[in-house]
């Protein structure tokens, strides 16, 4: 597929349909997302829920269980920085180390690490917009509640939405610079606005996938060995990713 940021999208008829939108005035973000989704080959769709991505989600789910059982201090020290920021950094670092140990690094695992960090902000904020003023108790309550209230599937969807956001932001960004100055994207600012609109639509669409049926499997995964837990979580992630892609393809 060519996922390096130095590459452009493949020269296929499906990707040319995407690029055509960047040439036209006022490209519709929903149509852009739909055409990108339809242009993805089978390997790319599979890699979007690959083991490195699943490792990020597993780290997030395990962190929720750990905080629920033992408090935020078991996850990270928050003495010198805002608790939510410290939690986000700690969970991301855990996932990064696990990816390195397992040799699971890829472009999509890199994007998933970024998504993991922003997903923790949303999950740990408990609906507050004042992210860095939330104290340790509120952060622990918010993060731990997904495990204690059997809402791990909701936490999974939070991650999935952020992952789709980062992935589609990447897909759009790697091509739009070629079209800035044209009728579709007259300025860099308009290219950025389109990227943001596409990624927001993808995040909201992925986060709306029905996932409650996976709650039991996600909860059980946290009691398995690392290898078995990763495999179980990846199965769930693969199903939700594919259903998210189907929804996006249908919204154009």
Rounded Cα–Cα distance for residues 199 and 33 (Å): 8
DSSP count for the chain of H helices, then E strands = 11, 0
Sign for the pseudo-dihedral over CA of 82, 88, 90, 96 = negative
- Other C-beta atoms within 10 Å of 1: how many? 14
- At 115 the three-state DSSP class reads helix
Helix axes 152-176 and 51-70, enclosed angle (nearest 10) = 140
| Domain boundaries defined on the chain | 13-250
C-alpha distances out from residue 208 to 115, 158, 232, Å: 17, 9, 21
pLDDT at 77: 77
Q: How far is CA 237 from its chain centroid?
A: 11
In terms of phi and psi (left: phi > 0; alpha: psi -120 to 50; beta: otherwise), the region of 71 is left
Residue (of 148, 128, 35, 38) closest to 83 by Cα position: 128
CA 187 from chain center: how many Å?
28
Q: 87 and 72 in contact (C-beta within 8 Å)?
A: yes
Angle at 120 between CA 232 and CA 216, to 5 degrees: 30
Question: What is the rounded distance in angstroms from the CA atom of residue 229 to the CA atom of residue 234?
Answer: 8
Which pair of tokens denotes residue 56?
Answer: 């990020």
What are the distances in angstroms from CA 162 to CA 18, 167, 200? 22, 9, 9
d(CA 110, CA 167): 10
Q: Which residue has the tokens 């969970």?
A: 91
The model's pTM is: 0.94
Please name the helix (run of DSSP H) or strand (run of DSSP E) that holds residue 152, with its range, or none: helix 152-176
**DSSP structural state of residue 8:** P
pLDDT digits 0-9 by tens, 220-236:
999 999 999 999 999 99
pLDDT in tens, 156-205: 999 999 999 999 999 999 999 999 999 889 999 999 999 999 999 999 99
Q: Closest Cα to residue 238, out of 80, 104, 34, 42?
A: 42
Q: What is the pLDDT of residue 128?
A: 67
Low-confidence ranges of the chain (pLDDT < 70): 1-6, 78-79, 127-129
The pLDDT assigned to 133 comes to: 75
Instruction: Give me the pLDDT at residue 3, please.
Output: 40
């Amino acid at each position: 597929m060519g996922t390096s940021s130095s590459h452009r999208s493949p020269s296929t008829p499906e990707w040319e349909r995407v690029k055509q939108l960047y040439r036209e005035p006022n490209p519709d973000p929903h149509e852009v997302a739909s055409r990108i989704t339809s242009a993805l080959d089978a390997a790319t769709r599979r890699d979007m829920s690959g083991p490195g991505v699943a490792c990020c989600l597993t780290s997030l789910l395990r962190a929720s269980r750990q905080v629920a059982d033992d408090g935020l201090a078991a996850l990270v020290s928050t003495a010198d920085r805002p608790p939510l920021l410290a939690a986000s950094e700690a969970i991301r670092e855990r996932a990064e180390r696990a990816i390195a140990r397992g040799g699971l690094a890829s472009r999509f695992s890199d994007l998933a690490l970024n998504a993991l960090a922003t997903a923790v902000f949303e999950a740990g904020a408990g609906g507050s917009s004042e992210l860095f003023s939330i104290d340790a108790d509120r952060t622990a309550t918010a993060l731990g509640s997904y495990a204690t209230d059997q809402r791990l599937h909701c936490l999974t969807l939070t991650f999935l939405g952020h992952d789709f956001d980062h992935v589609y932001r990447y897909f759009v960004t790697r091509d739009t610079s070629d079209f800035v100055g044209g009728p579709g994207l007259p300025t860099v600012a308009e290219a950025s606005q389109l990227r943001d609109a596409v990624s927001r639509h993808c995040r909201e669409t992925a986060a709306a996938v029905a996932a409650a049926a996976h709650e039991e499997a996600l909860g059980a995964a946290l009691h398995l060995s690392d290898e078995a837990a990763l495999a179980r979580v990846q199965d769930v992630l693969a199903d939700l990713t594919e259903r998210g892609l189907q929804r996006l393809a249908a919204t154009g």
